[in-house]
Structure 1
């Protein structure tokens, strides 16, 4: 199987921690921790991705809330509205080439109407590449 034939849809998590804009940051953090994720997509009522909330976003606002002894914020106040997404038919190889030091560690996977289908992380991309390479080594 050629490396380019490996698709995001085959390796993505179909059950990410889904967040909404009006959710308190504390609830969002709880969902991310339960899912063991470094961030999660923020969706609207139509399940379209409108933002992304990272661990870094959460930490900054939680610290500020703790310092001022106030409720910290809502997801909308903390999230990044400029979200980079991928489609399930994106080649794993293409996505792997996108990862860099300042790139997202997790990408929301959307359909062609920007509705959330799942997420894919750097770890899942590494697993896909590793499985492909191992399979290649065992072929005569």
Structure 2
């Protein structure tokens, strides 16, 4: 267990990360979720990460209440990531201990966390699966 306590996000993160642009449509995002089997993408604008979008954010487009008109399905799928993304998000740096990443995931009910370097550039993503694998390997 001691080996797990010393493990960091940078050691166990996924380094190749797919991102989406702010102008990605819900239709394109839905296709990406289906093809990649991901539940979360960082949103990139140039070299900066300006938010995150999850399959939960996608589904929020379709949540209605009695006081809200239901738009046409095509209209909903034409919306952009910028309209539904979460602009304020939690991230970690590569030196963050996995125990801290795990606590953030539990406290905020997150499945993945972006890993940003000192210049706030995306260098990876750490998921629940990454932590579970590491716990199994190092415990």
Instruction: Give me the TM-score of the superposition, normalised by structure 2.
Output: 0.82
Q: What is the Cα deviation at residue 63 of structure 1?
A: 6.5
Whether the aligned pair in 1 keeps the contact of 2:105 and 2:112 (CA below 8 Å) is no
How far apart in 1 are the matches of 2:120 and 2:30? Answer: 24
Q: 1:108 aligns with which of 87, 90, 114?
A: 114
Paired residue secondary structure (2:61): helix
Map 1:1-140 → 2, pairs under 5 A? 2-46=3-47, 48-61=48-61, 68-72=72-76, 73-100=79-106, 102-133=108-139
- Give the superposition deviation at 1:77: 0.2
Once superposed, which parts of structure 1, at least 4 consecutive aligned residues long, lie more than 4 Å away?
A: none
Q: Distance in 1 between matches of 2:80 and 2:18?
A: 16
What SS class does the counterpart of residue 113 from structure 2 fall into? strand
Cα offset, 1:12, TM superposition: 1.3
Give me the CA root mean square deviation: 2.0
Shift of 1:17: 2.4
Q: Which runs of 5+ in 2 are unaligned?
A: 65-69
- CA deviation profile, 1:56-97 (whole Å, cap 9, x unmatched): 111222577x85233321000010111101111211122112
Where does residue 67 of structure 2 map in the other structure? Answer: none
| Larger RCO of the pair (alpha carbons < 8 Å, separation 6+) | 2
Deviation at 1:114, TM superposition (A): 1.4
